[in-house]
Structures are given as C-alpha cells and as structure tokens.
C-alpha cells in the first residue's frame, strides 16, 4: 500500500491565526483545539517532523475530520488542507486498520464504490422495505444496540427502480454544443436515477449529444478521502478508460465525485490521459448555467444548501444559484450558514453518527427557519442526509437536486 507523506512546505504555510476555527464544523461541535484545522495541522506537522508518532489519539483526530474543506475557504495563507488530510490518512492506512471502525470501513469500502455490488445490496434492501420487515425491525428497537447500523438504516430512502440510461441521446437543442459524457456515479445511479435521467435530458435539450458509457465504475472519491490511494488510482484509471476520448465535456452531478475527478492530476501527475480527462470535468451547474433551455414557471419557495465539495472543493457557489434564478416564479430564500457541512461527508455519517447527527440538527434548524417548501443541493450524500433530518424532525419539505427542479421547469414549458 503506497502512502504519501503530507508536503512539509504546505504544512508550514499555517501561521496559526485561527481564522479557520469558527468555520470548522468539528471544532464547533466538539470545541477541542485538536479537532480544529489548526490543531490537526499542528499534529500533522509534529508527526512529519518526528516529534509525535502515529498514536491512537492522532488517528482519532484525523478520523473525526469531515474533510469538508471549509478551512481551505477560510484560510488566508492558502493551506491546502484537503490534500494534506488525504496524504495523512494514507499513512494511517499503511499502519493497518483502526479497530473502532475497521469492520464498518471494510463493509462500506467493499460495497459503495462497486456499483454492481451496491445494486445487489440495495435490491435486498428494497425487499426489506417492501415486505414490512422494516416496520417490525424499527418497532423492536433492536437497532439501538448497533448505532452505526441504525445510522445506515435510517439514512436510506425507499429504493427506487433504476433503469439504465441509453448510451447515446442525440442533441435536441437549437445550437449544437458538442459531445458530453455523463458520470452516473454509485449512490446517484441507484438511489437518485431520476437525477441522472434529467441530467442527460437537459444536456440534450441544451444541444449536447449525450454519452453515458455503460461499463463505467466508481470515480474513487471515497477511497481518496479515506487514504486508500492505490485503490483510488486504480478506479480513476478504469473510469478514464471507460469514457471515449473525443468528448468535449464530462458532466458530473455529484459534488464529491466532481471534486475528486478535477483533482486526479494531483495524485497522478504527468499522465497525459489523466490531464486531458480532468480538464473536461464540469459540474452540471457549470455545464448548464448559460445553456438555452425552455424554462417554464415553478411556483415554489426553495432554499439552497452548498455541498462542501461544490462550495469548498470546487469553489462553485454562483452557478447553481444563477441556474435556479432563471426558473420563472421560483422564489429562493437564503439559508443561513448554507456552506456549513450537514454531516454527510461521504460515509462520515455512517462512521461517526454522533458528530454527524449534531451537525444535521444544526442544518435542519437553519432550514426550518427559512420557511422554504424545498431544499436544493447538488450532492447525493447531502440529499440523503438532509432528507433523513427532515423525516426525523417531521418537516414536510422536498429535498431536491437542482436538475430535478430544472427538469420540472422544462416539463412545464414544453407542450
């Protein structure tokens, strides 16, 4: 297993000013310096300089980080916290599994990045939900004995049917914009297949020939964030090979995936095919923001939650808001602290349900204050997490991806 040491020059960029502390969700929840960006960087540097070993306490502070990168946005010194964390986690992976979460990590990393296995597991779950067994299990309170399993069970919505998309959808727009590939993702393809279908349809209406390679796998984001760098590179190279080289753009509608794919070159430098692939990656909001689309009215009040890997990872905040702003009659009300992590953070909500739950409570409080009838966000993990929070709070809100609203708007405009 090839670990990468965090760059010592990057670690030394931190001037300990503390500006990032109030922006850090784990510092806000736990109130511990060592669970803040400054504290974590101090620990990483102490390890890099040989003043501290890879102790259990060190690993715990690194595990408790969401990898949300809010600290990068806040930092005036330009500390690239995300890549430092990923390198540090690769060193921890090299030292062997952490007993506290080893089993669940193995399950999650063996399942989530494998679309076929995930599909089989979700097929079984659909049976569990529809047979009435879920009602029996929930009424028995047996899940209280296994909090991480309970977190997983409560997160999942009713599993929909997920038919495969056509491999080619021709352009329908008035202007022809080129050929666009679409990433179908792992969670997105199984739990939000309509988001993928609407993405392809909107791109086609905008003027793209839309290509959805059937044999595409996972982008590797989960493994990158957990420090499994060999597995991450392996998945990334397979994904690159699955997409035709003549595409003009590759569109991603999951913030975490897009962020990792744009950063492929950091982890695979100097590989020409990786550079060419990464340069084509666009979030769906970037791809559609100025597109000619027949938009009809949607009479709804919504609020927008910034997914961390869009706002902090890709610095995309304006495009989704501008896109939503183009929908006639749609009213957008601001969400206070819209870029504070909802606690989803990949699989963090499964591994660390307590901290994730406290962040979700804060997020749902803010959402409820807005009075909106729907929350819009561009990442499947956030969709799942916020929907769970609304269900548990008894809030009757729609939780929607931006392309779902756009597709609704287009449907109302077309005859």
Please state, in angstroms and rounded to a whole number, the distance separating the CA atoms of residues 183 and 196: 8
CA dist list (Å): 132 to 127, 139, 140, 408:
9, 11, 13, 32
Among 29, 44, 68, 364, binds ligand SF4 (CB under 6 A): 68
Among 44, 74, 211, 247, binds ligand SF4 (CB under 6 A): 74
Among 11, 71, 327, 330, binds ligand SF4 (CB under 6 A): 71
Among 62, 65, 186, 300, binds ligand SF4 (CB under 6 A): 65
Residues 371-410 that bind ligand SF4 (CB under 6 A): none
Q: Which is nearer to ligand SF4, 207 or 313 (CB)?
A: 313
Among 11, 62, 70, 257, binds ligand SF4 (CB under 6 A): 70
Which DSSP letter does residue 336 get? T
List, in sequence order, every beta strand (DSSP E) within 289-382: 301-304, 331-333, 374-376
CA dist list (Å): 83 to 88, 256, 260, 271:
8, 14, 11, 19
Residues 25-54 that bind ligand SF4 (CB under 6 A): 25-26, 37-38, 40-41
Q: State yes or no: residue 310 binds ligand SF4 (CB under 6 A).
A: no
State both tokens at 390.
Answer: 């609304």
> Interacting stretch for ligand SF4, rule CB under 6 A, among 65-73, 103-111, 113-121, 124-132?
65-73
Q: Which is nearer to ligand SF4, 25 or 389 (CB)?
A: 25
Q: Which residues are registered as beta bridge partners of 400?
A: 376
Q: In 10 A of CB 392, how many CB atoms?
A: 13
- Residues touching ligand SF4, count (CB under 6 A): 26
Residues 79-118 that bind ligand SF4 (CB under 6 A): 79, 81
Please state, in angstroms and rounded to a whole number, the distance separating the CA atoms of residues 143 and 326: 45
381 contacts: CB under 8 Å, gap ≥ 6? 187, 254, 256, 307, 344, 345, 346, 349
Residues that bind ligand SF4 (CB under 6 A): 14-20, 24-26, 37-38, 40-41, 65-71, 74-75, 77, 79, 81
């Amino acid at each position: 297993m090839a670990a990468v040491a965090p760059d010592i020059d990057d670690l030394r960029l931190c001037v300990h000013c503390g500006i990032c502390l109030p922006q850090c969700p784990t510092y806000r929840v736990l109130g511990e310096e060592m669970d803040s960006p400054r504290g974590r960087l101090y620990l990483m540097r102490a390890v890099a300089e040989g003043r501290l070993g890879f102790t259990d306490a060190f690993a715990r502070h690194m595990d408790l980080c969401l990898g949300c990168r809010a600290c990068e946005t806040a930092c005036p010194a330009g500390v690239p916290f995300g890549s430092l964390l990923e390198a540090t986690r690769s060193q921890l992976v090299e030292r062997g599994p952490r007993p506290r979460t080893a089993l669940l990590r193995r399950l999650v990393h063996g399942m989530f990045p494998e679309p076929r296995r995930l599909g089989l597991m979700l097929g079984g779950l659909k049976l569990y939900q529809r047979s009435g067994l879920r009602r029996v299990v929930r009424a028995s309170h047996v899940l209280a004995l296994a909090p991480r399993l309970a977190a997983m069970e409560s997160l999942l919505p009713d599993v929909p049917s997920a038919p495969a998309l056509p491999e080619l959808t021709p352009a329908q727009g008035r202007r022809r914009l080129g050929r666009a590939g679409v990433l179908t993702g792992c969670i997105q393809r199984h739990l939000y297949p309509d988001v993928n279908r609407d993405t392809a349809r909107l791109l086609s209406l905008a003027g793209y020939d839309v290509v959805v390679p059937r044999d595409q796998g996972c982008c590797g984001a989960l493994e990158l964030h957990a420090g499994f760098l060999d597995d991450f590179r392996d998945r990334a190279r397979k994904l690159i090979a699955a997409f035709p080289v003549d595409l003009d753009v590759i569109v991603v509608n999951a913030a975490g995936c897009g962020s990792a794919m744009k950063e492929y070159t950091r982890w695979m430098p100097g590989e020409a095919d990786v550079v060419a692939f990464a340069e084509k990656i666009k979030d769906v909001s970037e791809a559609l923001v100025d597109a000619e689309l027949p938009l009809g009215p949607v009479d709804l009040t919504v609020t927008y939650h910034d997914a961390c890997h869009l706002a902090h990872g890709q610095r995309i905040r304006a495009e989704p808001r501008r896109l939503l702003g183009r929908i006639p009659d749609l009213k957008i009300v601001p969400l206070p602290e819209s870029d504070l992590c909802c606690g989803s953070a990949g699989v963090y909500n499964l591994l660390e349900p307590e901290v994730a739950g406290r962040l979700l409570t804060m997020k749902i409080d803010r959402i409820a204050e807005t009075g909106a009838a729907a929350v819009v966000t561009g990442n499947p993990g956030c969709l799942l997490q916020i929907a769970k929070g609304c269900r548990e709070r008894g809030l009757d809100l729609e939780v929607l991806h931006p392309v779902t609203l756009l597709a609704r708007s287009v449907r109302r405009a077309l005859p």
